[in-house]
Amino acid sequence: MSESRHDWTKEEILDIYNKPLMELLYEAATVHRKHHDPNTVQVSTLLSIKTGGCPEDCGYCPQAARYHTDIEGNDLMTVSHVKAQALRAKASGSSRVCMGAAWRNVKDGPEFDQVLEMVRTINKLDMEVCCTLGMLTENQAKRLAEAGLYAYNHNLDTSEDYYKDVISTRAFQDRLDTIDNVRKSNVTVCSGGIIGMGEKEEDRAGMLVALASLNPQPESVPINALVAVEGTPMEDMEPIAIWDMIRMVATTRIVMPETQVRLSAGRTQMSREGQAMCFFAGANSIFAGDKLLTTPNPDVNEDMEMLKLLGLNPQKPFIKVSQPKTVEATESEFKSLNEKPKWTRPGHTIERNEEAKQKTKLTD
C-alpha cells in the first residue's frame, strides 16, 4: 500500500521546510531509508537532441529563440548519433537516457517519428528512456509508450501563483493536462521545478502541493537550482544557497516518500559536501555528463569518483518499474492523428522577459 498523502497544505509543507535543519535532515533521512536503498543513486544522462529555437519565453531558459544567448542551435539528431551517445552513457555508468527537444509541443510528423525510433533504439539497449519534448496529447503519449518510453518529463517549474511571472506563452494548466495525458499511457511521470528564480518560500511549498496532489504522485521529481545564463531574463539572479537546496530536497522527500528525488541543475555550484547532504536528505538521482541540455554539469568521472567516495552505488535500470516492451512502427496500434491541439497562450506581458528580448545579441 502506498503511504503517499495527496492532501498536503501549503502551511504544512512550509512547517516542514522551516524545521531546524538537523531535525529536518533526520526526518527526511528516516523516510528515505524506509522507502529506498540509501546507498544507491540513479545516474542519468541528459541529451539535447534538438537545441535552441524554442518559441516559448521561459525566463530561465537560454534555448528560447527570443533571447540573445550564445547557445548554438542544432537540428534534430539522427538515430545513429543518439544510439552512439546512449552507448557511451551506458559505459560510463548511466542507467537512463533523457532526451530533450526544444519544442513548445510535440507535432505529429517525420521528426516525432524519428524520436519514436530513438526511443525504440535506446530501450533495446536495456536502458530506461525518458523524453522531454513539451506538451503532448494522449495519442502521442501512447505512441511513445508503445515505442518503449519509460518516463516523460514535464516540469511544473514553480507554483501556479508564481508561474505567470516566469512564463507568458503557456499556462500552468497546460502542464497538468500534459501530465494527465502521460498518465493515460503506461509511461511514468517525471515532474519537478526550479528554485532560485526569485520565488518565495511559499511558492516552493506551492509547487510541492501541486506535485503531491497528483494521484499517483510523480515517480520522479527533479529539483533544479537556477543556472543564470547571460542573455536570459534571469541572468542577474544570485546563485541559490546550498541550504535552500538541502531543505527543498528534504521537504520533497518527506512529502513524496516513494518518489525518486533528482538532484538536477546547478550542481557545478555545489560542493561535494553540499551534495552529500542532499543525498542524506533523500536525493537518489543525478544527471551525469558535462552538460544538462545547455548548462554546465560536473564531468561524469568526477561524479563517479564522488559516488565512490561516499560509498554510493549506481542504480541498475528498471528497479522501480519493469522494462517496457518495444512495439515496432510497422506493428503499432496507435498511428499519427495529425493532431493540432490548441495549447494555451495566456498573452500577458512579463517585463523582464520583454527587456531581455530587446537586448543586443551577444558578440564573441
Asked if residue 136 is part of any domain, the answer here is: yes
Check 130, 131, 143, 170 and give the catalytic one. Answer: 130
The predicted pLDDT at position 360 comes to: 56
Strands 151-153 and 96-101: unpaired
Check 58, 131, 143, 253 and give the catalytic one. Answer: 58
The DSSP annotation for 36-76 comes to S-TTEEEEEEEEEEEBS-B----TT-TTBTTS---PPPBPP
Say what angle helices 110-123 and 138-147 make with each other, to 10 degrees: 40
Asked if residue 4 is part of any domain, the answer here is: no
130 is catalytic: yes
Check 183, 190, 204, 278 and give the catalytic one. Answer: 190
Full pLDDT tens readout for the chain, 364 residues: 457 899 999 999 999 999 999 999 999 999 999 999 999 999 999 898 998 788 888 889 888 878 778 777 788 999 999 999 999 999 988 999 999 998 999 999 999 999 999 999 999 999 999 999 999 999 999 999 999 999 999 999 999 999 999 999 999 999 999 999 999 999 999 999 999 999 999 999 999 999 999 999 999 999 999 998 888 989 889 999 999 999 999 999 999 999 999 998 888 889 999 999 999 999 999 987 655 555 556 677 888 899 999 999 999 999 989 999 999 999 999 999 999 888 988 889 988 888 888 875 544 4
61 annotated to bind ligand: yes
104 annotated to bind ligand: no
130 annotated to bind ligand: yes
Asked if residue 321 is part of any domain, the answer here is: no
> How many angstroms separate the CA atoms of 93 and 280, rounded?
21
Check 98, 204, 247, 267 and give the catalytic one. Answer: 98
Asked if residue 10 is part of any domain, the answer here is: no
Q: How many residues does the chain have?
A: 364
Structural domain for 227, as ranges: 19-311+334-362
Asked if residue 13 is part of any domain, the answer here is: no
Burial class (CB in 10 A: 0-12, 13-18, 19+), 173: middle
Q: Which helix (H) or strand (E) holds 151?
A: strand 151-153
Asked if residue 197 is part of any domain, the answer here is: yes
Asked if residue 116 is part of any domain, the answer here is: yes
The predicted pLDDT at position 284 comes to: 95
61 is catalytic: yes
54 annotated to bind ligand: yes
Please tell me the total count of domains within the chain. 1
The predicted pLDDT at position 40 comes to: 96
Say what angle helices 242-255 and 21-35 make with each other, to 10 degrees: 40
Q: What's the Cα-to-Cα distance from 203 to each of 160, 169, 194, rounded to whole Å?
A: 8, 20, 11
> How many angstroms separate the CA atoms of 259 and 261, rounded?
6
User: Closest Cα partner for 172 from 153, 199, 154?
Assistant: 154
Check 96, 120, 204, 262 and give the catalytic one. Answer: 262
User: Closest Cα partner for 117 from 73, 77, 75, 74?
Assistant: 77
Strands 283-288 and 260-263: parallel
Which CATH number belongs to the domain containing residue 49 in this structure?
3.20.20.70
131 is catalytic: no
Asked if residue 7 is part of any domain, the answer here is: no
131 annotated to bind ligand: no
278 annotated to bind ligand: no
